[in-house]
Chain A
Amino acid sequence: MNLLIKGGRVIDPSQGIDDTLDVVVENGLVKEIGKGLAVPAAAETVDATGKYVVPGLIDMHVHLRDPGLEYKEDIISGTRAAVAGGFTSVCCMPNTKPAIDNKAIASYIINKAKTEGACNVFPVGTITQGMHGDRLAEMGELKESGCVAVSDDGKPVKNSELMRRALQYAAGIGIMVISHAEELELVGEGVMNEGFTSTELGLKGIPRVAEDIATAREIMLAEYVGAPIHIAHVSTKGAVRIIREAKARGVKVTCETAPHYFTLTDDAVRGYNTNAKMNPPLREADDVAAIKAGLKDGTIDCIATDHAPHHLDEKDVEFNEAMNGIVGLETSLPLSLKLVDEGLLTLAQLVEKMSCKPSELLGLGRGSLKAGSVADITVIDPAKQWTVTESALASKSKNSPWLGETMTGAAACTVVGGNVVFSGR
């Protein structure tokens, strides 16, 4: 099936394009972009008037829970949530059961996504075998079997010597290391950010410096061995400052943040709301401001969601007992579009952070609408209003702090490899 996406505002930072144009797709590839293009043979037409047409969004940090924890999410439901959120590719973290520390699991994920998934899935392998933090995983074979990065996400690599070796080894192979930066001794039994709110609620706090110190360690190790490092889900002003300084010094550090860290503060925990419990925890107003400043000045390269589905029973418990994490695939786009409304980012910069940059960092060969590129395309309706309800979410899990809230902006049409896989809520 060929495709004509007609009359939308095409924003493609990879070619410096921001204009009202048509996009023609043939045989799964972008054929051409231009004004008043002819309809190709046997083509479906998507009217994109008043909408944005951008390279397919890429979420480089999601948890699909498959294999092993399919009661929370699986590759089918997770990719359906992804395309409903406008994502054409997702990178899934390796803390599955068993973990993605071998070729068999990586192949299982890639094959299941290809046959049953709604979008591209690129697995992230582990840094250490079984994520136990004591032996390097078989990174060479992981890369060969399709993993695009390695991470022990959910768990920091505690041993600094092992982390140094991981960075060296991965750099040699040419695979990115993604760090979950957290100093566990400082986290202790903390369940939310340490600050006035934790004091008032009487909940054990996680100090921001736990993230800052771990971020600093990763940067110093990467600098020492001359290898790249990517810091996942940055949430503190300290980490933003440390990364900014390191980048200025020429360290090969990149990072991502998630929409909740530039949208919510730890006030969202009030009422002991377990849908506001996550790791790293929601921080304070000055952290939110620092995250926004980091997005604006380019310190923060990417916006990922850390989509972390959990079953109702794992959230409908006392606060201390509740699992960390929220679903994010379907709310990321409207929350991120707010950054454009606020004048913090241009649309092109937003597309960079949600598509071009993650593709470039992980070598996905996407994030562009150049002629000949894979036709992964997201059509965004910036004015679409919709309410986040349990039934509106395609994810199996409904653990969102925005339930009941009305969002502005949504994917109007998601095209993966030239096929329309989602056409509006």
Chain B
Amino acid sequence: MEFKHKDIIALRDLSKEEIELLISTAENMREVNSRDIKKVPTLRGKTIINLFYESSTRTRTSFEIAGKRLSADTVNIAPSNSSATKGETLADTALNLLAMKPDIIVMRHAVSGSHYFLSKKVGCSIINAGDGAHEHPSQGLLDMLTIKDKFGRLDGLKVAMVGDITHSRVARSDIQGLTKMGSSIFLAGPPTMMPPGVERLGNVTVCGTMKEAIQDADVVIMLRIQQERQGKTLMPNTREYSRYFGLNPENLKLAKPDAMVMHPGPINRGVEMSSYVVDGSQSHVLKQVENGVAVRMAMLYHVCGGELE
């Protein structure tokens, strides 16, 4: 099967088969990552620009390593501390970067949909490393890969997702990906953080309590509370939040005995999850990080028109 998209902006835009292809390619890429010399010549001569309007050491480093392991030349640009503050528009920045003839631009941007805007301006491939509260497809794919590692499949699972759904691009990508694969999603969080109509995104149920969502779940995905986003209106404080929406060894027992726990990071320990859970045997948080590199290698590879033999 051939991957036909120039860009990867949202899992919503991809078919089930295309998502499966990306995940199976990532599985193969892991073999490279386990070698002594972790480098293949696949993207030799290609230039990748990491354009991060919001700082994210974790995601940016992961994309950078992914590019380097495929032998691409990677350049990091953080416009927040250069041209953007001088009033240069995204369109102008894009045209300037394009003059440097990159093959791929990996971008993170605070405005939802800005990647579609950029994609119309430039001919090179665009990979979304997070746009506003819209999507974060590489995170969605690495979450799916991590789940598949444990269960060997992505269908028929009960996935609980707890936290700030409204502002979470991870939630949107996970929902798009996992429901396409045949799993069902159960959401919980303060009602102030539950966006209207979210059930219509796929096989999604909004639960009244966290207990209802994690009861008999195979997977529990805890979302990050971005305290700077919550302002003063979305919740009383983190203490109350953690009492009703925090994951601890006690309420984790409601999930299936072998349930896996995930979090896109960085974790507010003691708020979203207690350290006993973060560092406990059911936690797959570090596995997620590890899978991130392989998934991003697969994404870079496929937008460059790669095909597995």
Contacts and interface: CB of A to CB of B under 8 A. Distances in A.
Interface of A: 194-205, 271-272, 316-321
B197 A203 contact: no
B132 A203 contact: yes
A305 B174 CA distance: 41
Interface string B125-143: 0000001111100000000
Contacts of B195: 198-199, 205
Among B12, B111, B131, chain A packs the most CB atoms within 10 A around the CB of B111
A195 B90 CA distance: 28
Contact of A201 (B112, B196, B198, B200): B112
A202 B133 contact: yes
B201 A202 contact: no
B172 interface: yes
B109 interface: yes
B198 A320 contact: no
Given A202-B134, A316-B91, A321-B111, A272 B116 contact: yes
A199 B201 contact: yes
Contact of B117 (A200, A202, A203, A317): A317
A195 B196 contact: yes
Shortest Cβ-Cβ A-B pairs, 4 listed: A196-B197, A202-B134, A272-B113, A202-B133
B183 to A, nearest CB: 19
B169 interface: yes
Given A201-B134, A202-B132, A202-B134, 7 more contacts: A194-B196, A197-B197, A198-B195, A199-B195, A204-B133, A272-B112, A272-B113
Contacts of A271: 116
Mostly, the B contact residues are: mixed
Given A317-B89, A317-B90, A317-B91, A203 B196 contact: no
Contacts of A203: 112-113, 132-134
A319 B113 CA distance: 7
A320 B53 CA distance: 15
7 contacts: A200-B172, A203-B133, A204-B133, A272-B112, A317-B91, A319-B113, A320-B111
Interface range for B? 20 to 34
Contacts of B169: 202
B25 interface: no
A201 B9 CA distance: 12
B114 interface: yes
Contacts of B198: 199
A318 B117 contact: yes
Nearest to B194: A199
A198 B112 CA distance: 10
A196 to B, nearest CB: 3
A318 B196 contact: no
B107 to A, nearest CB: 11
Given A195-B196, A196-B196, A317-B91, A201 B113 contact: yes
Nearest to B114: A318
B175 to A, nearest CB: 10
Contacts of B196: 194-196, 198-199, 205
Interface of B: 12, 89-91, 109, 111-114, 116-117, 131-135, 166, 169, 172, 195-198, 200-201
A272 B12 CA distance: 14
Contact of A202 (B89, B131, B197, B200): B131
Contacts of B91: 316-317
A412 to B, nearest CB: 37
A318 B197 contact: no
A408 B280 CA distance: 67
A257 to B, nearest CB: 23
B112 A200 contact: no
A317 B198 CA distance: 27
A318 B201 contact: no
Contacts of B112: 201-203, 272, 319-320
Contacts of B172: 200, 202
B112 to A, nearest CB: 4
Nearest to B166: A199
Nearest to A317: B89
Contacts of A204: 133
Contacts of B114: 318-319
A330 B44 CA distance: 54
Contacts of A202: 112-113, 131-135, 169, 172
Nearest to B89: A317
A318 B109 contact: yes
A194 B133 CA distance: 14
A196 B197 CA distance: 4
A178 B64 CA distance: 56
Contacts of B166: 199
Contacts of B12: 200
A201 B198 CA distance: 11
A387 to B, nearest CB: 22
Contacts of B132: 202-203, 320
Nearest to B117: A318
A22 to B, nearest CB: 53
Given A317-B91, A319-B113, A199 B197 contact: yes
A208 B282 CA distance: 43
Contacts of A318: 90, 109, 111, 113-114, 117
Nearest to B112: A202
Nearest to A197: B197
A319 B90 CA distance: 12
B13 to A, nearest CB: 11
Contacts of A199: 166, 195-198, 201
Nearest to A200: B201
Contacts of B109: 318
A201 B109 CA distance: 14
B4 to A, nearest CB: 19
B45 to A, nearest CB: 31
A319 B133 CA distance: 13
Nearest to B110: A320
B269 to A, nearest CB: 27
A196 B202 CA distance: 12
A268 B89 CA distance: 24
B79 to A, nearest CB: 13
A394 to B, nearest CB: 27
B60 to A, nearest CB: 20
Nearest to B199: A196
B195 to A, nearest CB: 4
